[in-house]
Structure 1
Amino acid sequence: MLPPGEPKFRRRPADRPAEILAAALEVFADYGFHAARLEEVARRAGVSKGALYLYFETKADLFRAVVQTAVTPNFEHVKAMAVAAAATGFESALRTGVGLLARNVIADRRISGVVRLVIAESRTHPELATIWYETVIAPGVALMTTLISEAQTRGEVRAGDPRMFAFGLMGPMILSIVWRETFEPVGAEPVDVPKLADQHVETILRGMRP
């Protein structure tokens, strides 16, 4: 047994990057990008600041890695399930995709905290918006647009701009994040995101059917 106080990175060197990224996700969500300190990330990960710099040279590098390894896999899971469900029709894909997005991604306060960070700090740190757009937003909108376009070809969805339909689908989900991160802290009644998602799916299906 190692002596008490042995640093985590010496006990489990292979786990070091994963522990750093998990800690960074929490710190970014708690403090935002500008106020986040690498010292705090290192402290929560149980490593030295020097060890952290072995893996990530800048805070932007660390943020990109957080998005790519701690956030993106959740979105990739939702996308994979939605594509699989599309084999039985657009409604199945929509119910599956939006439901999983609400329950497994948006309901995670660490991820919604990162979204708040991007919205709040993209003017002064445009690289954050670029990372989020390239990694999450653009692929997600492209997937939804494709699924809707294919459904239109099959006659499952009425005529209309598939990209605009995709934006309409995501509107309430984005609003729920803004509500949670901006208004709930000052006393607004919380929004049940999964319930909102379920109701929105029924509303949007009625509007998109031929």
Structure 2
Amino acid sequence: MQPGPPKFQRRKDDRPGEIVAAALAVFSEKGFAAARLDEIARRAGVSKGALYLYYETKEDIFHAVVKTAVAPDVEMVKARLEAFPGPAAGLLEVFLPTIASILSVSPVASIGKMVISEGRNFPELARYWHDELVAPMIGIVSGMIKRAQERGEVRAGDAKLFAIEIVSPFLMALLWRETFVPIGAQPFDLNALAAQHLSVLKGGMLTPGGVP
């Protein structure tokens, strides 16, 4: 049996992930401006000096949080959509519950709310969030719509606007959860939202030929 890497080496390899997890918690709780590198380091169990060995700035840590904790969900959705061979109605039946399932456990809501609230003061955050997450997701859904329009399954219209219509209810539900649930409001049931939204889309966006 081959020996594994030394314990200290495994610890060193784990540190970027531990820093990202700590940063995610601090960003979610306090926002970007109020987050302090020394607190992120403390929660990660490293010194502030050690933190700088991996990330030079707080913006670099934010980039790592997006790439590590959020962006993989976008890639998973993309892979599922690209692998689905069926018509638009079936694709929506897969896509909407998938989004509901991911958003139920993903940190995208807390970090997204932070970007929305602080993006004017930190435009680099908003730009990175847009380029890494928003634009790719809208592009994935727009491409799905365009292909369905070419098959005659979706009504004529701007595919990008259709994409915005598809994802907007989930965005509203997440902002509600992050803003109003902490003060006592009831959260939306994302699975119920996905089911009702599917019914609305089938009745309004799909052509008669696109509805099974």
Question: What TM-score does the superposition give when structure 2 sets the normalisation length?
Answer: 0.89
Change (3 A) 1:109 1:77: closer
Letter of the aligned partner of 1:47 in structure 2? Answer: V
Identity of counterpart residues, as a percentage? 48
After superposition, residues 25-44 of structure 1 pair within 5 angstroms as: 25-44=24-43
Residue 205 (structure 1) aligned to one of 185, 198, 202 = 202
Report the counterpart of residue 17 of structure 1 in structure 2: 16
User: How many Å apart are 1:10 and its aligned residue?
Assistant: 6.6
Give CA-to-partner distance per residue, 1:92-131, whole Å, 9 cap, x none: 2222222112211x22363211011011000111111001
Contact 1:122 1:128 in 2 (8 A): yes
After superposition, residues 18-167 of structure 1 pair within 5 angstroms as: 18-85=17-84, 87-104=85-102, 106-108=103-105, 110-167=107-164
**Secondary structure of the structure 1 residue equivalent to 2:180:** helix
Number of aligned residues: 201
Change (3 A) 1:102 1:202: same
User: How many Å apart are 1:21 and its aligned residue?
Assistant: 1.0
Q: Which runs of 5+ in 2 are unaligned?
A: 1-6, 208-212
Structure 1's consecutive aligned runs of 4 or more residues displaced over 2 angstroms after TM superposition are 8-11, 108-111
Contact 1:180 1:191 in 2 (8 A): yes
Contact 2:173 2:187 in 1 (8 A): no
**Alignment partners' CA distance in 1, 2:107 and 2:158:** 33
Question: What TM-score does the superposition give when structure 1 sets the normalisation length?
Answer: 0.90
**Alignment partners' CA distance in 2, 1:59 and 1:123:** 17
Contact 2:69 2:107 in 1 (8 A): no
Q: Which runs of 5+ in 1 are unaligned?
A: 1-7
**Alignment partners' CA distance in 2, 1:23 and 1:88:** 41
